[in-house]
Structure 1
Amino acid sequence: MFSDTANKIFKEVIDTYHVINSVDQPFINAYDKETSLLEHLLYRKCWIDTVQWHYEDIIRDPNIDPVAALTLKRKIDASNQDRTDMVEYIDSYFLSKYKDVNVKENATINTESPAWGVDRLSILALKVYHMNEEASREDASPQHQEACRAKLNVLLEQRVDLSTAIDQLLEDIAKGDKYMKVYKQMKMYNDDELNPVLRAQNK
Protein backbone atom coordinates (compact mmCIF):
# COMPACT_ATOMS: atom_id res chain seq x y z
CA MET A 1 0.00 0.00 0.00
CA PHE A 2 1.15 3.53 -0.78
CA SER A 3 0.46 4.75 2.76
CA ASP A 4 2.78 2.10 4.22
CA THR A 5 5.61 3.50 2.11
CA ALA A 6 4.75 7.09 2.99
CA ASN A 7 4.48 6.47 6.72
CA LYS A 8 7.78 4.53 6.72
CA ILE A 9 9.58 7.36 4.94
CA PHE A 10 8.05 10.02 7.19
CA LYS A 11 9.28 8.17 10.27
CA GLU A 12 12.71 7.84 8.67
CA VAL A 13 12.85 11.58 8.00
CA ILE A 14 11.73 12.60 11.49
CA ASP A 15 14.12 10.19 13.21
CA THR A 16 16.99 11.38 11.01
CA TYR A 17 16.24 15.05 11.71
CA HIS A 18 16.25 14.50 15.47
CA VAL A 19 19.71 12.93 15.48
CA ILE A 20 21.15 16.45 15.16
CA ASN A 21 17.87 18.23 15.97
CA SER A 22 18.75 21.56 14.38
CA VAL A 23 16.91 23.62 11.78
CA ASP A 24 20.32 24.58 10.34
CA GLN A 25 21.52 21.07 9.60
CA PRO A 26 22.22 20.16 5.97
CA PHE A 27 19.61 18.28 4.00
CA ILE A 28 20.57 15.04 2.29
CA ASN A 29 17.83 13.10 0.51
CA ALA A 30 18.07 9.38 1.22
CA TYR A 31 16.40 8.50 -2.09
CA ASP A 32 17.68 9.06 -5.60
CA LYS A 33 15.45 11.17 -7.81
CA GLU A 34 16.18 9.13 -10.93
CA THR A 35 15.53 5.67 -9.50
CA SER A 36 13.04 6.36 -6.68
CA LEU A 37 11.16 9.52 -7.63
CA LEU A 38 8.12 9.08 -5.40
CA GLU A 39 10.24 8.19 -2.35
CA HIS A 40 12.50 11.14 -3.15
CA LEU A 41 9.53 13.51 -3.20
CA LEU A 42 8.03 12.09 0.00
CA TYR A 43 11.35 12.39 1.83
CA ARG A 44 11.81 16.00 0.73
CA LYS A 45 8.20 16.85 1.61
CA CYS A 46 8.47 15.55 5.16
CA TRP A 47 11.86 17.20 5.68
CA ILE A 48 10.35 20.58 4.80
CA ASP A 49 7.49 19.94 7.23
CA THR A 50 9.86 18.82 9.98
CA VAL A 51 12.10 21.87 9.73
CA GLN A 52 9.07 24.16 9.61
CA TRP A 53 7.60 22.45 12.69
CA HIS A 54 10.70 23.50 14.60
CA TYR A 55 10.71 26.98 13.06
CA GLU A 56 7.23 27.39 14.50
CA ASP A 57 8.48 26.31 17.95
CA ILE A 58 11.35 28.79 17.86
CA ILE A 59 9.32 31.80 16.72
CA ARG A 60 6.94 31.35 19.65
CA ASP A 61 9.70 32.10 22.14
CA PRO A 62 8.34 35.20 23.97
CA ASN A 63 11.93 36.44 24.41
CA ILE A 64 12.99 36.09 20.80
CA ASP A 65 14.90 39.03 19.37
CA PRO A 66 12.59 40.99 17.00
CA VAL A 67 15.19 41.04 14.23
CA ALA A 68 15.71 37.28 14.56
CA ALA A 69 11.94 36.80 14.58
CA LEU A 70 11.59 38.70 11.30
CA THR A 71 14.35 36.65 9.72
CA LEU A 72 12.66 33.49 10.90
CA LYS A 73 9.29 34.68 9.58
CA ARG A 74 10.88 35.03 6.14
CA LYS A 75 12.17 31.45 6.43
CA ILE A 76 8.70 30.23 7.38
CA ASP A 77 7.21 32.03 4.37
CA ALA A 78 9.78 30.39 2.08
CA SER A 79 9.14 27.02 3.70
CA ASN A 80 5.40 27.36 3.13
CA GLN A 81 6.07 28.00 -0.54
CA ASP A 82 8.38 24.97 -0.73
CA ARG A 83 5.72 22.88 0.99
CA THR A 84 3.08 23.90 -1.55
CA ASP A 85 5.47 23.27 -4.43
CA MET A 86 6.21 19.76 -3.15
CA VAL A 87 2.50 18.98 -2.90
CA GLU A 88 2.13 19.96 -6.54
CA TYR A 89 5.15 17.85 -7.54
CA ILE A 90 3.65 14.81 -5.80
CA ASP A 91 0.28 15.37 -7.45
CA SER A 92 2.05 15.70 -10.81
CA TYR A 93 3.61 12.31 -10.14
CA PHE A 94 0.17 10.78 -9.59
CA LEU A 95 -1.26 12.54 -12.65
CA SER A 96 1.48 11.02 -14.76
CA LYS A 97 1.05 7.59 -13.18
CA TYR A 98 -2.69 7.47 -13.87
CA LYS A 99 -2.76 9.39 -17.16
CA ASP A 100 -3.77 6.34 -19.20
CA VAL A 101 -6.65 5.27 -16.92
CA ASN A 102 -10.03 5.14 -18.63
CA VAL A 103 -12.13 7.41 -16.42
CA LYS A 104 -15.67 6.11 -16.02
CA GLU A 105 -18.57 8.27 -17.12
CA ASN A 106 -19.93 8.49 -13.59
CA ALA A 107 -16.51 9.13 -11.99
CA THR A 108 -16.37 11.83 -9.32
CA ILE A 109 -13.69 14.18 -8.08
CA ASN A 110 -12.47 14.15 -4.48
CA THR A 111 -12.57 17.15 -2.15
CA GLU A 112 -8.76 17.15 -2.08
CA SER A 113 -6.06 15.74 -4.31
CA PRO A 114 -3.96 12.75 -3.21
CA ALA A 115 -0.96 14.92 -2.38
CA TRP A 116 -2.90 17.19 -0.06
CA GLY A 117 -3.89 14.03 1.81
CA VAL A 118 -0.18 13.17 1.89
CA ASP A 119 0.52 16.64 3.26
CA ARG A 120 -1.79 15.97 6.19
CA LEU A 121 -0.25 12.53 6.70
CA SER A 122 3.23 14.07 6.93
CA ILE A 123 2.09 16.61 9.52
CA LEU A 124 0.34 13.82 11.41
CA ALA A 125 3.62 11.88 11.59
CA LEU A 126 5.19 14.90 13.29
CA LYS A 127 2.29 15.17 15.74
CA VAL A 128 2.66 11.48 16.61
CA TYR A 129 6.40 11.81 17.17
CA HIS A 130 6.19 14.85 19.41
CA MET A 131 3.11 13.71 21.32
CA ASN A 132 4.92 10.45 22.05
CA GLU A 133 7.84 12.52 23.34
CA GLU A 134 5.50 14.36 25.69
CA ALA A 135 3.83 11.16 26.85
CA SER A 136 7.26 9.73 27.69
CA ARG A 137 8.86 12.84 29.17
CA GLU A 138 10.34 11.88 32.53
CA ASP A 139 10.22 15.39 33.99
CA ALA A 140 6.49 15.75 33.24
CA SER A 141 3.76 15.06 35.76
CA PRO A 142 1.82 11.78 35.61
CA GLN A 143 -1.27 13.78 34.70
CA HIS A 144 0.55 15.38 31.75
CA GLN A 145 1.84 12.01 30.56
CA GLU A 146 -1.60 10.43 30.82
CA ALA A 147 -3.26 13.28 28.92
CA CYS A 148 -0.64 13.05 26.19
CA ARG A 149 -1.01 9.28 25.92
CA ALA A 150 -4.74 9.76 25.37
CA LYS A 151 -4.03 12.34 22.65
CA LEU A 152 -1.42 10.04 21.11
CA ASN A 153 -3.98 7.24 20.83
CA VAL A 154 -6.32 9.57 18.96
CA LEU A 155 -3.51 10.62 16.61
CA LEU A 156 -2.61 7.00 15.91
CA GLU A 157 -6.24 6.20 15.12
CA GLN A 158 -6.41 9.25 12.88
CA ARG A 159 -3.30 8.09 11.03
CA VAL A 160 -4.89 4.71 10.32
CA ASP A 161 -8.06 6.36 9.03
CA LEU A 162 -6.21 8.91 6.89
CA SER A 163 -3.86 6.25 5.49
CA THR A 164 -6.85 4.09 4.57
CA ALA A 165 -8.62 7.02 2.92
CA ILE A 166 -5.57 7.94 0.83
CA ASP A 167 -5.06 4.34 -0.30
CA GLN A 168 -8.74 4.09 -1.19
CA LEU A 169 -8.59 7.32 -3.18
CA LEU A 170 -5.59 6.12 -5.17
CA GLU A 171 -7.31 2.79 -5.82
CA ASP A 172 -10.44 4.58 -7.00
CA ILE A 173 -8.37 6.77 -9.34
CA ALA A 174 -6.57 3.69 -10.69
CA LYS A 175 -9.93 2.03 -11.42
CA GLY A 176 -11.42 5.17 -13.02
CA ASP A 177 -14.03 5.63 -10.29
CA LYS A 178 -12.52 8.98 -9.36
CA TYR A 179 -10.43 11.47 -11.26
CA MET A 180 -8.02 14.13 -10.09
CA LYS A 181 -6.96 17.61 -11.10
CA VAL A 182 -4.05 19.73 -9.94
CA TYR A 183 -4.94 23.32 -9.20
CA LYS A 184 -1.90 25.52 -8.77
CA GLN A 185 -2.27 27.24 -5.42
CA MET A 186 -1.68 30.71 -6.88
CA LYS A 187 -0.52 32.11 -3.56
CA MET A 188 -0.67 35.87 -3.78
CA TYR A 189 1.39 37.12 -0.85
CA ASN A 190 4.75 36.06 -2.37
CA ASP A 191 4.01 37.53 -5.79
CA ASP A 192 5.44 40.98 -6.60
CA GLU A 193 2.48 41.69 -8.89
CA LEU A 194 -0.34 40.33 -6.71
CA ASN A 195 0.71 41.53 -3.24
CA PRO A 196 -0.11 45.29 -3.12
CA VAL A 197 2.67 45.98 -0.60
CA LEU A 198 5.34 44.33 -2.76
CA ARG A 199 3.92 45.92 -5.90
CA ALA A 200 4.13 49.39 -4.38
CA GLN A 201 7.78 48.87 -3.43
CA ASN A 202 8.68 47.89 -6.98
CA LYS A 203 7.27 51.03 -8.59
Structure 2
Amino acid sequence: MSKIDSMFSDFAFKIFNESIDKYHIKDDVYQSFSNPYPKDEIAHLLYRKNWIDTVQWHYEDIIRDPNIDPTSALVLKRKIDASNQDRTDLVEYIDSYFLDKYQSVQVKEGATINTESPAWAIDRLSILALKVYHMQEEATRTDASAEHKQKCQIKLDVLLEQKKDLSTAVDQLLADIEAGTKYMKVYKQMKMYNDDELNPVLRGK
Protein backbone atom coordinates (compact mmCIF):
# COMPACT_ATOMS: atom_id res chain seq x y z
CA MET A 1 0.00 0.00 0.00
CA SER A 2 1.42 3.37 -1.02
CA LYS A 3 1.60 6.39 1.25
CA ILE A 4 -1.31 7.97 -0.67
CA ASP A 5 -3.44 4.86 -0.16
CA SER A 6 -2.75 4.53 3.55
CA MET A 7 -3.57 8.22 4.13
CA PHE A 8 -6.00 8.79 1.27
CA SER A 9 -8.32 10.94 3.36
CA ASP A 10 -5.50 13.35 4.23
CA PHE A 11 -4.44 13.43 0.57
CA ALA A 12 -8.00 14.18 -0.56
CA PHE A 13 -8.71 16.75 2.16
CA LYS A 14 -5.56 18.66 1.23
CA ILE A 15 -6.71 18.87 -2.39
CA PHE A 16 -10.20 19.90 -1.32
CA ASN A 17 -8.72 22.77 0.68
CA GLU A 18 -6.60 23.82 -2.30
CA SER A 19 -9.78 24.05 -4.38
CA ILE A 20 -11.67 25.96 -1.68
CA ASP A 21 -8.81 28.42 -1.15
CA LYS A 22 -8.47 28.99 -4.90
CA TYR A 23 -12.21 29.63 -5.29
CA HIS A 24 -12.27 32.19 -2.49
CA ILE A 25 -9.53 34.32 -4.03
CA LYS A 26 -12.23 35.71 -6.34
CA ASP A 27 -15.24 34.29 -4.48
CA ASP A 28 -17.35 34.41 -7.63
CA VAL A 29 -19.57 31.56 -8.87
CA TYR A 30 -19.02 32.71 -12.46
CA GLN A 31 -15.21 32.67 -12.38
CA SER A 32 -13.36 30.45 -14.82
CA PHE A 33 -12.09 27.05 -13.71
CA SER A 34 -8.69 25.51 -14.30
CA ASN A 35 -7.44 22.25 -12.86
CA PRO A 36 -3.79 22.25 -11.70
CA TYR A 37 -3.53 18.45 -11.78
CA PRO A 38 -2.94 16.21 -14.83
CA LYS A 39 -6.01 14.42 -16.17
CA ASP A 40 -4.55 10.98 -15.54
CA GLU A 41 -4.20 11.55 -11.78
CA ILE A 42 -6.85 10.94 -9.12
CA ALA A 43 -5.99 14.41 -7.79
CA HIS A 44 -7.52 15.85 -10.97
CA LEU A 45 -10.88 14.25 -10.18
CA LEU A 46 -10.74 15.23 -6.51
CA TYR A 47 -9.98 18.87 -7.32
CA ARG A 48 -12.75 19.05 -9.90
CA LYS A 49 -15.19 17.34 -7.53
CA ASN A 50 -14.63 19.86 -4.76
CA TRP A 51 -14.76 22.83 -7.15
CA ILE A 52 -18.25 21.71 -8.19
CA ASP A 53 -19.22 21.40 -4.52
CA THR A 54 -17.78 24.82 -3.70
CA VAL A 55 -19.57 26.63 -6.51
CA GLN A 56 -22.82 24.88 -5.62
CA TRP A 57 -22.39 25.85 -1.95
CA HIS A 58 -22.43 29.48 -3.05
CA TYR A 59 -25.28 28.93 -5.51
CA GLU A 60 -27.29 27.72 -2.52
CA ASP A 61 -26.39 30.89 -0.60
CA ILE A 62 -27.44 33.16 -3.46
CA ILE A 63 -30.78 31.46 -4.14
CA ARG A 64 -31.80 31.94 -0.51
CA ASP A 65 -31.71 35.72 -0.87
CA PRO A 66 -35.33 36.72 0.00
CA ASN A 67 -35.08 39.59 -2.51
CA ILE A 68 -33.84 37.52 -5.44
CA ASP A 69 -35.63 38.18 -8.72
CA PRO A 70 -37.86 35.17 -9.58
CA THR A 71 -36.42 34.90 -13.08
CA SER A 72 -32.89 34.90 -11.72
CA ALA A 73 -33.90 32.32 -9.13
CA LEU A 74 -35.21 30.01 -11.85
CA VAL A 75 -31.99 30.35 -13.85
CA LEU A 76 -30.01 29.59 -10.70
CA LYS A 77 -32.20 26.57 -9.91
CA ARG A 78 -31.32 25.18 -13.33
CA LYS A 79 -27.63 25.72 -12.57
CA ILE A 80 -28.02 23.88 -9.27
CA ASP A 81 -29.71 20.96 -11.07
CA ALA A 82 -26.86 20.80 -13.58
CA SER A 83 -24.32 21.03 -10.77
CA ASN A 84 -25.96 18.11 -8.97
CA GLN A 85 -25.64 16.02 -12.12
CA ASP A 86 -21.97 17.02 -12.50
CA ARG A 87 -21.38 16.08 -8.87
CA THR A 88 -22.90 12.63 -9.40
CA ASP A 89 -20.85 12.12 -12.55
CA LEU A 90 -17.63 12.97 -10.71
CA VAL A 91 -18.47 10.55 -7.90
CA GLU A 92 -18.90 7.80 -10.49
CA TYR A 93 -15.58 8.70 -12.12
CA ILE A 94 -13.85 8.48 -8.74
CA ASP A 95 -15.46 5.11 -8.03
CA SER A 96 -14.30 3.93 -11.46
CA TYR A 97 -10.76 4.81 -10.41
CA PHE A 98 -11.08 2.59 -7.34
CA LEU A 99 -12.77 -0.23 -9.27
CA ASP A 100 -9.86 -0.23 -11.70
CA LYS A 101 -7.29 0.05 -8.93
CA TYR A 102 -8.61 -2.92 -6.97
CA GLN A 103 -9.80 -5.08 -9.86
CA SER A 104 -7.11 -7.73 -9.27
CA VAL A 105 -7.80 -8.08 -5.53
CA GLN A 106 -8.91 -11.56 -4.55
CA VAL A 107 -12.11 -11.11 -2.57
CA LYS A 108 -12.08 -13.33 0.51
CA GLU A 109 -14.86 -15.68 1.44
CA GLY A 110 -17.25 -13.90 3.76
CA ALA A 111 -16.27 -10.45 2.48
CA THR A 112 -18.95 -7.84 3.03
CA ILE A 113 -20.17 -4.82 1.10
CA ASN A 114 -20.19 -1.33 2.56
CA THR A 115 -23.32 0.82 2.82
CA GLU A 116 -21.73 3.32 0.43
CA SER A 117 -18.96 3.22 -2.14
CA PRO A 118 -15.57 4.87 -1.47
CA ALA A 119 -16.40 7.81 -3.72
CA TRP A 120 -19.66 8.60 -1.95
CA ALA A 121 -17.79 8.62 1.36
CA ILE A 122 -15.21 10.93 -0.24
CA ASP A 123 -18.10 13.10 -1.47
CA ARG A 124 -19.12 13.56 2.17
CA LEU A 125 -15.52 14.48 3.01
CA SER A 126 -15.53 17.15 0.30
CA ILE A 127 -18.71 18.71 1.70
CA LEU A 128 -17.25 18.49 5.19
CA ALA A 129 -14.19 20.44 4.03
CA LEU A 130 -16.54 23.24 2.97
CA LYS A 131 -18.38 23.16 6.28
CA VAL A 132 -15.09 23.40 8.18
CA TYR A 133 -13.88 26.30 6.01
CA HIS A 134 -17.03 28.37 6.43
CA MET A 135 -17.50 27.61 10.11
CA GLN A 136 -13.88 28.65 10.69
CA GLU A 137 -14.73 31.92 8.95
CA GLU A 138 -17.69 32.46 11.25
CA ALA A 139 -15.72 31.55 14.38
CA THR A 140 -13.11 34.21 13.58
CA ARG A 141 -15.25 37.00 12.10
CA THR A 142 -14.02 40.34 13.40
CA ASP A 143 -17.47 41.94 13.05
CA ALA A 144 -19.29 39.17 14.91
CA SER A 145 -20.22 39.14 18.59
CA ALA A 146 -18.27 37.09 21.08
CA GLU A 147 -21.34 34.92 21.62
CA HIS A 148 -21.65 34.22 17.89
CA LYS A 149 -17.98 33.30 17.61
CA GLN A 150 -18.16 31.04 20.65
CA LYS A 151 -21.17 29.17 19.27
CA CYS A 152 -19.45 28.75 15.92
CA GLN A 153 -16.26 27.53 17.58
CA ILE A 154 -18.25 24.81 19.36
CA LYS A 155 -19.77 23.78 16.03
CA LEU A 156 -16.33 23.87 14.41
CA ASP A 157 -14.97 21.54 17.07
CA VAL A 158 -17.74 19.07 16.28
CA LEU A 159 -17.00 19.31 12.54
CA LEU A 160 -13.31 18.65 13.17
CA GLU A 161 -14.21 15.60 15.23
CA GLN A 162 -16.45 14.45 12.40
CA LYS A 163 -13.57 14.97 9.96
CA LYS A 164 -11.36 12.72 12.08
CA ASP A 165 -14.00 9.99 12.25
CA LEU A 166 -14.96 10.16 8.57
CA SER A 167 -11.30 10.19 7.50
CA THR A 168 -10.63 7.10 9.59
CA ALA A 169 -13.66 5.37 8.05
CA VAL A 170 -12.60 6.23 4.48
CA ASP A 171 -9.05 4.96 5.02
CA GLN A 172 -10.29 1.80 6.73
CA LEU A 173 -12.74 1.09 3.90
CA LEU A 174 -10.00 1.38 1.29
CA ALA A 175 -7.71 -0.83 3.38
CA ASP A 176 -10.47 -3.45 3.71
CA ILE A 177 -11.15 -3.42 -0.04
CA GLU A 178 -7.45 -3.84 -0.76
CA ALA A 179 -7.28 -6.70 1.74
CA GLY A 180 -10.31 -8.40 0.18
CA THR A 181 -12.41 -8.29 3.35
CA LYS A 182 -14.81 -5.83 1.72
CA TYR A 183 -15.75 -5.50 -1.92
CA MET A 184 -17.06 -2.73 -4.14
CA LYS A 185 -20.30 -2.86 -6.05
CA VAL A 186 -21.24 0.36 -7.79
CA TYR A 187 -24.68 1.22 -9.11
CA LYS A 188 -24.88 4.00 -11.68
CA GLN A 189 -27.09 6.71 -10.26
CA MET A 190 -30.52 6.66 -11.85
CA LYS A 191 -31.63 10.24 -11.38
CA MET A 192 -35.18 10.35 -12.65
CA TYR A 193 -35.87 14.09 -12.49
CA ASN A 194 -33.48 14.95 -15.34
CA ASP A 195 -34.78 12.23 -17.67
CA ASP A 196 -37.42 13.17 -20.27
CA GLU A 197 -38.86 9.66 -20.09
CA LEU A 198 -38.90 9.29 -16.30
CA ASN A 199 -39.94 12.73 -15.07
CA PRO A 200 -43.71 13.03 -15.74
CA VAL A 201 -43.50 16.82 -16.02
CA LEU A 202 -40.83 16.63 -18.73
CA ARG A 203 -42.52 13.66 -20.39
CA GLY A 204 -45.79 15.56 -20.65
CA LYS A 205 -44.27 18.34 -22.73
Q: TM-score range by the shorter chain?
A: over 0.9
Structure 1: unaligned runs, 5 residues or longer: none
Instruction: Kindly provide the amino acid, as one letter, of the partner of residue 18 in structure 2.
Output: E
1:167 Cα deviation (Å)? 0.2
Instruction: Kindly provide the amino acid, as one letter, of the partner of residue 132 in structure 2.
Output: V
In the other structure, the counterpart of 2:121 is: 117
* 2:14 paired with 1:14: no
In the other structure, the counterpart of 2:4 is: none
* 2:39 paired with 1:41: no
Runs of 4+ displaced beyond 3 Å: none
Q: 2:93 aligns with which of 71, 89, 93?
A: 89
Instruction: Kindly provide the amino acid, as one letter, of the partner of residue 11 in structure 2.
Output: T
Equivalences for 1:1-203 in 2 at 5 Å?
Answer: 1-34=7-40, 36=41, 38-201=42-205
Other structure's SS at 1:70 match: helix
1:30 Cα deviation (Å)? 1.1
Other structure's SS at 2:204 match: helix
Under a length normalisation based on structure 1, what TM-score does the superposition of the two structures give? 0.97
Q: Deviations over 1:24-52 (max 9, x none)?
A: 00010110103x2x100000000000000
For 1:182 and 1:135, how far apart are their aligned partners in 2? 39
For 1:138 and 1:43, how far apart are their aligned partners in 2? 30
Percentage identity across aligned positions?
75
Instruction: Kindly provide the amino acid, as one letter, of the partner of residue 30 in structure 2.
Output: D
For 1:90 and 1:164, how far apart are their aligned partners in 2? 19
1:200 Cα deviation (Å)? 1.0
The two structures, once aligned, show a CA RMSD in angstroms of: 0.5
Instruction: Kindly provide the amino acid, as one letter, of the partner of residue 29 in structure 2.
Output: V
Q: Deviations over 1:116-164 (max 9, x none)?
A: 0000000000000000000001111100000000000100110011001
Under a length normalisation based on structure 2, what TM-score does the superposition of the two structures give? 0.96
User: How many residues were matched structurally?
Assistant: 199
1:185 Cα deviation (Å)? 1.1
Instruction: Kindly provide the amino acid, as one letter, of the partner of residue 21 in structure 1.
Output: D
For 1:141 and 1:4, how far apart are their aligned partners in 2? 33
Q: Deviations over 1:87-136 (max 9, x none)?
A: 01100100000000000011000000000000000000000000000000
Other structure's SS at 2:32 match: coil
Q: Deviations over 1:155-200 (max 9, x none)?
A: 0110011001000000000000000111111000000110111111
For 1:66 and 1:10, how far apart are their aligned partners in 2? 33
